[in-house]
Amino acid sequence: MIVIKPYSHFQTLIDYNPFLCLNINMLHNFHRLHCLIVLLSIIFELNPISTKSSVKNRTKHTWIKTKHDLLITLSKWPKTLTKTLELHVSNSNFKDIQQVFNLCANDKHALPTPIEHSDFIFNQPNFCVKHTNLWILIVVHTHPSNKHKRDLIRGTWGSLNRVNNRKIGVLFFMGLSNNREEQKVIEEEERMHNDIVQRAFLEHYHNMTRKHLTIMEWISTGYCNKVPYLVKVDDDTFIDIFHLTSYLENKQPQLNNSFYCSATANVKVKRPNLMKNSKWEITNKEFSDSVFPTYCEGFGYVMDMKLAPYLYWCSMFQSPIWIDDVYVTGILAEILGIQRIPFQNGHGYANLKPGREEGSLADSIFLLSLYNEFYPLTFHEMWRESVMYSMQID
């Protein structure tokens, strides 16, 4: 725990000349903390929270009222979290920490607690250094055993690194395999492609929220944070890259500070039932409301990249549920006041089968095949059709 020391001459110098904070290596822990507060206060003055569009001005709590309150609160944080906040403030667009406190903190979680803190096995910190000026970063939720799906993506829609002058990057996010031989295959795959981010939690569908938040944390750390758009998909989703790029170019202003997705509303929570077993059961202790907030279906969505740090930091004050789409794009987005803009008709199409690719691609962006036995064939047919349709896009 950081101990508050008497106000020093050095702190006075920091107040007078905050640029001293840029030489962060010369500072002691408390001076580092004071630097953070000074820099945040400057940010607040330059970017008034009351008019910030990234989160709604809708105060649920009044945990942090002044810079002094923020200093007292941050002094109780573990050193690792203080350093993480410094990193995210300096390397990303994350500026409204006071607003996040006020919206997300609650009686149970007045101090932040990361949901996942395991090590990264593969991190790809230089991905956006090697792939400069990306316009879209596509992150794919994948299972360690799904190498065939990753290869299918790499050989179809993931093979494009630009559309016109818009650069595109693809990364695969996964947990740890419990099979040693499978893990060796992943290590070889990573050496070959350098497009895997893997973390040391066990891959399981009850750990999907950990994977989803790993994406937000990875971006908040400063990796690829300058990319305008984040696109998240599952590894069985086909993306028509040409339609996606064309749509974003035309609709860019409307998608600021928003999700663009298959927005699902008024879904009743399924409770454990001795007579019926459901994969999607949630206990009353995990989530007490009877209806989920509006959320984005996880097969594919587009997100304003600068929202990632807000979602990640808000998660530290909110108890998780394992259904990641509901938690990240529903519960956290609702608390922060982030809009979920529904897909236009046809942009999310989920009834693909062989012979239907041509008509399906006319207006679609995200496509799913319901017939797994035709999965590779359908993907390749969709890829061929999407390339043909790209010639008709203005």
pLDDT tens digit sequence for 16-60 = 344 445 444 444 554 555 565 555 544 434 333 332 444 554 445
pLDDT bin (cut points 50, 70, 90) of residue 194 is: very high
Amino acid at 109: H
Domains of the chain: 9-104 (no CATH), 120-390 (3.90.550.50)
Looking at residues 123-140, what average pLDDT do you find? 96
Which range, of 20-29, 150-159, 234-243, 277-286, averages the lowest pLDDT? 20-29
pLDDT greater than 60 at residue 349 = yes
| Residue 51, pLDDT score | 29
* pLDDT reported for residue 368: 77
Percent of the chain whose predicted confidence (pLDDT) is above 90 = 49
190 pLDDT exceeds 70?
yes
CA distance 118 to 22: 29
Could you give the CA distance from residue 47 to residue 55 in angstroms, rounded to a whole number?
Answer: 13
Q: Per-residue pLDDT for 311 more than 80?
A: yes
The more confident residue out of 25 and 332 is 332
Pairing of strands 162-163, 229-234: unpaired
Task: Output 158 or 351, whichever has higher pLDDT.
Answer: 158
Is pLDDT larger for residue 7 or for residue 132?
132
Mean pLDDT check: name the lowest of 2-6, 119-123, 190-194, 205-209. 2-6
Band (222; pLDDT cuts 50, 70, 90): confident
pLDDT of res. 239:
94
Which pLDDT belongs to residue 2?
A: 28
Residue 137 pLDDT: 98
Residue 324's pLDDT is what? 97
In this prediction, residue 11 carries a pLDDT of: 40
Q: Which long-range contacts (CB under 8 A, 24 or more apart) does 268-272 make?
A: 268/292
The number of beta carbons lying within 10 Å of the beta carbon of residue 204 is 14
Task: Check if the beta carbon of residue 235 is closer than 8 Å to that of residue 139.
Answer: no
Most confidently predicted of 61-70, 99-108, 110-119, 163-172 = 163-172
Question: Average pLDDT for residues 148-154, to the nearest whole number?
Answer: 96
State percent of the chain over pLDDT 70: 75
How far apart CA 366 and CA 298 sit, in angstroms, is 11
CB 216 within 8 A of CB 312: yes
Q: Which of 87, 98, 88, 2 has its CA nearest to residue 42?
A: 98
| Half-sphere exposure (Cβ direction) of 58: Cα atoms closer than 13 Å | 11
Residue 321 identity (one-letter amino acid): I
pLDDT at 5 over 70: no
Average model confidence (pLDDT) for the chain?
81
Four-residue CA torsion sign, 83, 89, 94, 98: positive
Which pTM was predicted? 0.82
Q: In the predicted model, what is the mean pLDDT of residues 314-333?
A: 96
- What is the band of 292 on the pLDDT scale with cuts at 50, 70, 90? very high
When pLDDT is cut at 50, 70 and 90, the band that residue 362 belongs to is: low
H or E element, residue 258: strand 258-264
Band of residue 7 on the pLDDT scale cut at 50, 70, 90 = very low
- C-beta atoms surrounding 115 within 10 Å: 17
